[in-house]
Each structure stands twice: as structure tokens, then as C-alpha cells.
Structure 1
């Protein structure tokens, strides 16, 4: 058996408790972990359409498999989930198509689409799994979410419709949408920025498929059993980047067995909910691997297996042995530490 050195992708929160969550928030959504795709992914289910949305904290738009239509009257034929279309003549169409959110070097400019005398509003979205350009059609939709007071809250939002028969082939089973939780003016948090909601978003991503996580919208407290988990967390500021709607944190150094790997000044790390492993710049990755190799020099190495460059063997004379490796500590802004344990830095194969 091999162990691979990996560094966990930086997440807003990663808590693996299986206790019942009781949150004094405005609303919540259960989160599921999927392991039937090329990499682990997370989704939330929106109650109205019963659609499972991929969680993406970097996406500028929410989009899913649906059909924009001008006739929402009962009895009108619809090949699947239909939503009210937005005309290419409406102001919101021009705002979406000219915003930086819809511009990507890989995408050609979107052109108006006429069908049966009506002008639809196409715009570009980028698939977070393969980075390919996808044509989406702007529409209006209502998100129904469960309030912690046991009611249902409905929020109006502009979303994109894509062809469900071709857009989600590499996605986990039954996931046919992308839920944008970024700082974009067209992401879900911006649509929910209205009374009586409080614009505070918390993610507790599940560590296993059997135990769901939770998305909480509101100021808290957030109880797991009888413990407010806010008291267990460390805090570091979330930073913005002028070329991204995602979330960033400042990293001062990486500590391995009490020795720091110094980083260039003003180093930031981008948070992701769709990447399985952290990607480091070469000038940071190389000294991290050198330091980790030095402190694990007594552990037998194995041939590298892509995408990893440092692998270990756990078999000695036919006997499987547990590996003991040091934690990796990220020293963050404000003197806070993020400790990544060996249970996460090593991947079994």
C-alpha cells in the first residue's frame, strides 16, 4: 500500500461531527459529499425543483439544467424544469453579459438568441470541473429554503439555464446544477441580501458520504448537540482579490516539525470547494516537499504516482505498518494557526 503526500484544499469549515445540528440561523441546507466523480465534491438540494446543486464558493453565477420559457401557464409543454425567461432587451441581460463575471478568455462573446419571435439572453458560464465554456440562458427563478423556524423562505434570483442533457456528464449522479456562493453580485448570497435575512454564510462540509454537512445562513449560534461550534473555531480575515469573486486568506509561513518554510511577502491562498488537493506555486511547493522529505527520511519511499511527487510505502517484509508523519501548520494572518493532521496530509492507495 502507498501513502501520498497531499495538502488538503482550504475550506471555509471542515467538521466531521455526526451529531444533530441545531442552528439559530435564518435558514439551512443539508450538504452531501459525493465520491462517484473524478474527485470528491459537495452538493446542496434546493427544495422547489428538487435539484442537487454543486457547491462552488468561487462561481460568479448559479446555473442548472432547465429550460427558459415565456409561457409558464399550467398545461404548457416543458421538456423538463422550466423557468421564466429573461429577454435580451431587459437591463439585467445587458448588465450580466457586460459584467466581469461572464467574461472568460476561453469563451466567445455571447450572441442574442431568437426563437419563435422572442429574444433570449444567452451568456457565458465556465464549468468548474473542466473549465469549459457553457452557454447559459438568463432566467428568473425562486429558491425555496427551509428556515430554522420550520417555515419556508422563498428568494427570487437570476439564474442560468443550460442544456441538462449535455452539461453535467462529469458530475456526480443526480447533480445537475452549480450553486454560486461567491462574492459576485449574481451569486446566491447577493440574492439573499434582503430582510429578514442576515448576510452571514457558514459551511460545514462533511468528511464522509454517510454523514451530511450543513450550509447555514445567518449569524448563529450554531449548535452541534449542545455545543456552539463557533467557540471551537479559529478566525482569520477573508480577503478579496480584484480578479476573482472567490475568498482568500493570508498565509505567513508553513511550519513542519517546528521549522518554518518561509513564504514570499503578501502570500495568499484561495479557498475552494471543488478541488481535491491544494495546488502550490513551484517556489513554495519545492521547499515544502524538501522539508517533509527530510523529517520523514526514515520512512521507505515508493515510486511516485501522479499527481503526487512524494510517496511512501507502508509495507515492510509483507507487513502493513502505520506511518507517523508530522502535522503541517499554516501560520495565518493575526497569529492564527491552521493545523493539518497526518490523517489528512496522507492519502492511502
Structure 2
């Protein structure tokens, strides 16, 4: 009997494209300033964070990246952090991977600025307090535009802070030569603009989408009243992004044959790709994610499938419900009980309800 539940980790889905999708969701390319006793250091790093219950999943990713870097767990916050700080590891391992297996849209633009910084730190002689040093600091503020500028540069002198805030390249820097030498992908792109349309050189893949779904995605299943006091089955598939990353959602919409829609949130700086249509999910969206054409009639090998790693159980439960309702309806008590159990197994259940308590609340 198939047992795909919340604790199931799909080991077969960890590919570099999957990792790129998950990094797009939960990863950060950053370069904070560290104040030492005598000078300020630029400290580039790659960070991937996750809930501590998925430590095994993060270790799978670390293994795929040749076990470079370190994983630390904050038991009080229940957060684990995978960090790579070694400049050689960043230059020799991380950059080649993400050059080919790319994060998307504005995250890719941030990555390219991170790449330029790494190359300059690795191959250029940088005199402390020089124009090149100041340019590198300016570059660090452009990698993560959502972080407060004052917070990023508070270690600098007032004069240096004003130079950074002016948002201009220091006079002694030939930025065109640096870009041509170290990051030609940034040619003809405004380096100082926090949001630029940057086209990826690699196509969007289903593996990337599965990683993105594991990070930023959700699949909500519920029962709700319809006409004549009957219950109807409702579904909502969502992938959320901040408003600087609308490009990836446009790519998703195209990948899913323009099924679904893109919605801007009213009260937050977020946007979402959404699909509420059960038929489109069964016939188009999920088949594209799993590379299976006929979900309802296929004998799916769930233990060896190439799909989401963490949230595969959500797709499994949804498909099982659709199979139950293909030739039946919720008026059948036996079918209703099975559907409620599958919905119960999909919920986070932070309240710790038993199945009977959940069912009772649902049918009130």
C-alpha cells in the first residue's frame, strides 16, 4: 500500500535544477559587512534556510553540492541554516552550478551581481578604502535590495555612506571592463537599478518548478457548502513571490499553457500564481510537474517519481481525492469519509486535532 505522508522525503528529486528552484525560494546570495578590530571586511556567503524538521532534506542538498559549507541548527527558533562562506568554494563550486542551473528573474539579476563581486574579490587586488573597495561595498547593497540600506552600511564613515547613497559608481572604476571580464551577462543592464528585466540563458524546467513549489508553493484542499446544503470539494494551487520577482510567475503561467492566473496581493508586496480549477490541475499543471500525462488512470510509482521532494504528499492526496470523485460524489458517506481523511492528512494541523475532531469541525 502506498504511504505518501508529511514525513515522506522523495530522495529521487534532488537534482541541481531542483536545488535552483528551492534556492530561488529559500536561498540567499549575500555579502554583509563585518567590522573587525582594524578594518571592515566584505563577507560573501550563500545561505539556505529551512525548518528544522527538514534537516534531512537540507543534508541531501549539501551532499549534492559536494558537502561544502556547514549546517547549523537553532533549536529555539527551529530553523536550520546551510551556509557557504569560503571564497574558493563560492567561486569554484557555487558559481559554476548556478551559472548553469539558474535562479530566475530578479533573483538571477541579484545572483549576477553576487557573481561579479566574488570574481573581483577573488582575482583583483583591493586596497582598503580604495575606489574598488568602495565599489565592492556598493555592489553588496545591490545584491539584496529588500534589506535596509542603512543597516547594510552602518559600519562606514559618514562620507562613505553618502557616496554609497548617491548610487553612483566611484570615479576610478571602469565598470565596463570589470563586467566584460568577470560577468558579461550584466552587459547592457543597469547595474544600479534594483529591478531590471534580465532574461535567463537557461529554460525553465519542471525540476526547478518542483523545487520552487517545495519552497514557495502550497496546495490547499477543503470542503465547502454549495447549493442545497451539499458539500463541494475545493482546491487552490499557489506559488507566491515578492513583487520584485513577478517575472518567474509569468514564466510559470507560460509553462502551464496559460492556465491559472497571476494575482497581486492588496495588503502585501507579494504576488501569486494561482489556480483554483481542479480540471486544469489534473490535466495540465500537475502532469507538467510530474511528467505524467494521465494522472487518474496511471499506475504511478510514487516512491521513484521525479517530483516535489517535501510536498509530494499534497499532490498525492489531491490526486487520490480526484480519483475517488471521478465516478462518485460526496453524498456517499464512505466516499466522504475517505475524502475528509485525505484532506486531514494534507493539513499542517498545528492545533493537533485528531481525525475525528477535524471531521466534526468540518461537518458542523
TM-score when normalising by structure 1: 0.28
Larger Rg belongs to: 2
TM-score when normalising by structure 2: 0.27
User: Which one scores higher on RCO, CA 8 angstroms, separation ≥ 6?
Assistant: 1
